[in-house]
Structure 1
Amino acid sequence: MKPTPPPSAPPPSRAARGLRRFVADDVQAAAAELDGWQQRYQQLTPGPFRAEVQQAAFGDVHVFREQTSQALLEEGEAMRGYLSLALPHAQCDGGWFHGYAMRGAGLLTAGNGKALAMRTPRELDLLGLTLPLPALQHALALAGGAPVTVAQLPPVRQLRPGVAAELRAALLSVLGTAALETEVFRHRFVESAMRDALLLAAATALTADGDRTHESLPTPTVRRRLVADAYDMVRAAPEAGWSVLALCERLGVSRRTLQYSFNEVTGLAPLDFVRAVRMNGARLALRAGTADSVGAVAARYGFHHLPRFAAQYREFFGELPSQTLARPR
């Protein structure tokens, strides 16, 4: 688990950017390289040491993956106002965190100025993220969970295997997306979408086993109205950063209600529906034969990476956007 700067230090500047990857053969070099963190490492088992770290930042949310080859003692202090979560791979048994054994699908939690102490096993594979508490509280509410404070969270929370696998896949997906060309991350919509995805992934993991019996499912009429309202919003501003979190906030519903309604009414997940609306809007604009280039049309409909847009467009419609633009009117 990686401690953030001490409570007296200002939050690090974390502009959205592509993936950063580094390899170290010394424990102190590995401790010093992770962006925005202060930590102390001690190697506990003999043998050559190797660490590989991947990391990306989206505003005030930081995600990383650390793989190390020897058992370590990691110590530090977490920054006030932030929560750090870490998910070791299920096969990384043998370590401990604040006296709790690391086993199975254990989610490690710490933050808000508290001291950290972790003994890692050999061959650690750890995914982690650090999130500002106010934003996380908001995401928890939209995920249908109750307010959570750091003091209420146990240092190690056992997740169901499926929940842990979903969180791990979400974090790996974000890191994979961050490996795209750097210019993608100059768009504020990409930063916002990645930040929202991380906040929602954390909130979902923290509320996965909570009691949601208080939340009634919407009626068919409410489901249809909710999807219609979402459709109107996306059509009115297709270029906006429509994430699941943004849709929940604008519609005033939980993630569970949003997903249930979209699955029932459209047969699609919310973001698949948003992408379909954007794709069809872009196709109509291209067929209209305006003077706009394919890139200008793509950006107008929220697609800020032209090669990816072209590939998705061809998969969706069976032809490249340039071919649609060149069609006779």
Structure 2
Amino acid sequence: MNSFKAIRVKEQEDQIVYGLEEVTADQLSEGDVLIKVAYSSINYKDMLAVQKNSGVIRNYPMIPGIDLSGTIVESKDSRFTEGQEVIVTGFTMGMSHTGGFSEYARIPAEWIVPLPDTMSLKDAMVFGTAGFTAALSILALEKNGMNVADNPEILVTGSTGGVGSIALQILSKIGYKNVSALVRKEHQEEVAKSLGAANVVFADQLGDAKKPLAKTRFDYVLDTVGGDVASALIPQISYGGSMSMCGNAGGLPVNTTVLPFILRAVNLLGIDSVNVPIEKRGSIWEKMASEWNIADTTLVNEISLEELTEAIDAIKNGQHLGRTIVKL
């Protein structure tokens, strides 16, 4: 292996610049396993990684990309063999460890999940970090009482983005009927319904975020955006209901009071996809490869590394729908 292609992010004269370069293996971070990358995907965090002062990338230069699927070409760890197909998401990949926007990646063995037998390398990145996060959110809500048999009212925010679009499809596939999608723009309504939403709620219909308690509308909320949206929804959750939270595209602060929690027993469930213990990941990927597999119906755009900067700009400008995967 000589040189190969990768996206590199650099700090130049107090500015962040990034683009396609020819790199060599000695520019990859340390690890036990060398992977020939087949696919990566673009997530909101990847967009943040190429912005100034985002806090995502810890040192420069860096190859971004927080997830990948591919085939092992070298392994110093007995758990993995040459030719084995694998998935890597999260940990510090694409942040302080060179990531998936590269034709090759060197990864610590303890970050690697074997690809399920019934899943392709492409489908693994149709899910990617976004799908893994959606699955974690649904599992957390079900652990806290959400059940198909109860026919609960569920709202998914950021419903046409990466996490939200996959969450809508999984919820629909496993039998939830009363699933609403929160959208901001009229053209997103048709998209959300095509993904499985029974109803659509526009952001300007959420009501006053300053009310400590409001009329209950939803039993469970799968929130992907945070900020004012989450603030407005917490007072509208039914007694004993829950909200999972996994994103901050709508802002970091959440303004609320203790009343929904002490008068309605509402639960807030934090979702982290980065540091989930490796021993828990395999079963989640197996579920996404079987009864939760919606890869064939997901809204997917496939691009090359050369087209990546344009796709990242679309996310930054709020023009991105569904999932974008990068074919290496």
TM-score, normalising length from structure 2?
0.30
In terms of fraction of residues, the more helix-rich structure is 1
Higher gyration radius (CA): 1
In terms of fraction of residues, the more strand-rich structure is 2
